[in-house]
Structure 1
Amino acid sequence: MWIIPMLALVFCLLGGRNDGSPLVAINLKVARRVTAIPFVMLSAAVALLPLANDRVGATVVAMVTPDGQADRGRLLLAAVLVAASATLLVLNGGGVPTSITLALVGASSGVGFAGGQPNWHLVLRVLGIAVLSPLAAFAISRTIYLLTHSRTPRSSTTMVFLGFLLTCLAYGSNDGQKMIALFSAAIGTDLDTATHNGAITATVTAAFLAGVLTGMPKGATALQRGTIVPDSRQTWVTLWAASLAVLISSMLGSPVSMTQSISGALIGTCQTNDWRKVRWGEARRILIAWAATLPMAWILGYAAANGLDLLPL
């Protein structure tokens, strides 16, 4: 039965490559030097923040384990992990981070449909909040940007660091819970036990950190090729606004996408003349990746649920 926990760790590693490396790259770009501090901060948040709140984790467990029978439920969980991981591998292969939440929602709903027990109420609730989160980030960033004034480079650097700290807290409270929840379900342990077990959190965090480290080249490239090249003020406003939107979603117990929230917040910092600076080709690539995530994960989840019964898991 070791295959299913390994699949969960692979998903955690891919989460680090998809989300973690671009977040660290933002901090390193502003600091203009490579240090271990952002890696440690983000990893610590993933390990410790799930202790404070397990609402997102409980939602993820309910979403990916739709079957009440233990053996069949583990097979379906394996199908979700395979489908979601394959989706991330395919879409992230082009260097564009996509939404882990959409991959999970698509895979779990596809698996649930194949298994005859789709939890449409939960899926629609998660999707609804996932759509609202980047919109909320846009509104928050627009408000902050209009109410603040230009700052000196030194004070902006401080604000970026504080924004990254807030980003770590938001990421740990949302994506950290996703990863712990998936691994706890994979090893057959309840979520509360998993979040308080040092060995489990260390294992999940190690897989996540490995993904961040191996994804750094693509993370830095994705940052350089982003839709907008933000100044220091836009950077810290974006981080603060996206983090607040994700923290609100975490309080509601819903998994959301940090990358989508950051994109929404970044757009909120654009002035009228900034639209000419948007790299529309990159924006199109990101939108295509997001649009493809849900249906691709659904199809793969449906196929995996019908095929994994033949494997000796």
Structure 2
Amino acid sequence: MIWAMAFAAVALAFVWVTGVNDGAALLGLSGRYPRSSGPLLMALVLVPLVLVPQWTVAVARTFTEGLTDLGDRRGALAFLLGVTVALAVVAALSRRGLPTSLTLAIVGGIGGAGLGMGLDVSWRGLALVLAIGAAAPLAGTSVGYALGLASRRIPSFTGMPGAVRTAHVLAYSAQCAAYAANDGQKMLAVVSVARHVVSTRRLGAIGPGPPPAPIPI
């Protein structure tokens, strides 16, 4: 019962921190469109979070299956420790006013916890996720620079303000959908693991395949 309560508390804390961290960024971007409907912009954030996981949960599976061997009977405990470490790192850096990635923190936390507990760690999977995380800002800068140059070559026309506003809303919609399909799925992974532990009240394996005997809690 104690472990079930711990998982529930960590899941709630993680969703809250994700909302403060990632959600604030998305809502902050919506503030660039003062003439757009507030409820519409809010729906663009929330609807993909509900609908996209019905289509794909591949990124959530990476958290639970692709970083370390959580199929071990100690897998759930390793996951709990990894998420807790990620929350602690983000909280400490946030107090110092230093930006960080909650996603990279949880990837490192889960991998480190698995390594410390003697579980098999997917070094290839960890390296790939961390490399992509490091390359993403550089790729974004390059694409943004190219689009900025291209925009200077587009001649102005009468309906340009409306066209630009529509393009902004479409881009914001795509950004929210991309978040739901990728970064936002860390919440789905944490909540799904916590729900499993709370519902079964057993601390056992996570991931595919027949699990070994769980540890009663």
Q: TM-score w.r.t. structure 1 length? A: 0.55
1:32 CA drift (Å): 6.2
Maintained 8 Å contact 1:18/1:97: no
Aligned to 2:8: 5
Conserved? CA contact 1:109–1:123, under 8 Å: yes
Letter in 2 for 1:23: L
Q: Does 1:14 align with 2:17?
A: yes
Query: 2:71 aligns to what SS in structure 1?
Result: coil
Deviations 1:36-91 (A, max 9, x none): 33233212211211222222111111256633333x22211111111111122222
1:60 partner amino acid: F
What's 2:110 paired with?
A: 108
State how far apart, in whole Å, the 1-side matches of 2:67 and 2:141 are.
29
Tell me by how many angstroms 1:94 deviates: 4.8
Q: Residues 65 and 74 of structure 1 are in contact (CA less than 8 Å); yes or no, is this contact kept in structure 2?
A: no
The whole-number CA distance in structure 1 between the counterparts of 2:23 and 2:97 is: 13
Residues 79 and 111, structure 1, Cα contact 8 Å, conserved in 2: yes
Structure 2: distance between partners of 1:89 and 1:32: 35
**C-alpha distance in 1, partners of 2:46/2:96?**
25
Residue of structure 2 equivalent to 1:148: 151
Hey, what's the Cα distance between the residues in 1 that align with 2:191 and 2:110? 15
Q: 2:48 matched to which residue of 1? A: 45
Map of 1:4-153 to 2, 5 A cutoff?
Answer: 4-31=7-34, 35-63=38-66, 66-70=69-73, 72-94=74-96, 97-117=99-119, 118-149=121-152, 152-153=160-161
* Contact 1:18/1:98 (8 A) holds in 2: no
The one-letter amino acid of 2:138's match is L
Q: Secondary structure at the match of 2:33?
A: helix
Deviates further, 44-53 or 87-96: 87-96
1:239-296: CA deviation from partner (whole Å, max 9, x where unpaired):
xxxxxxxxxxxxxxxxxxxxxxxxxxxxxxxxxxxxxxxxxxxxxxxxxxxxxxxxxx
2:189 matches 1:181: yes
For the Cα contact (< 8 Å) 2:8–2:194, is it kept in 1?
A: yes
Alignment of 1:244-283 (within 5 A): none
Deviations 1:104-150 (A, max 9, x none): 12211221221122332211111112122222222222222222246
Identity of aligned residues (%): 30
May I ask how many residue pairs the two structures share in their alignment? Answer: 190
> How far apart, CA to CA, are the structure 1 residues paired with 2:36 and 2:90?
29
Q: 1:144 to 1:7 in 2, by over 3 A?
A: same
CA contact (8 A) 2:90 2:105 kept: yes
Q: TM-score, normalised by structure 2?
A: 0.76
Matches of residues 183-198 of structure 1 in structure 2 within 5 Å? 183-188=191-196
Superposition deviation, residue 21 in structure 1: 0.9
Q: Does the Cα contact within 8 Å between 1:88 and 1:103 map onto a contact in 2?
A: yes
Cα distance in 2 between the residues matched to 1:15 and 1:34? 24
The alignment status of 1:169 with 2:177, answered yes or no, reads yes
**1-structure distance, mates of 2:173, 2:98:** 24
Give unpaired runs (5+ residues) of structure 1. 190-311
Q: In the alignment, what sits opposite 1:158?
A: 166
2:211 alignment counterpart = none
Larger Rg belongs to: 2
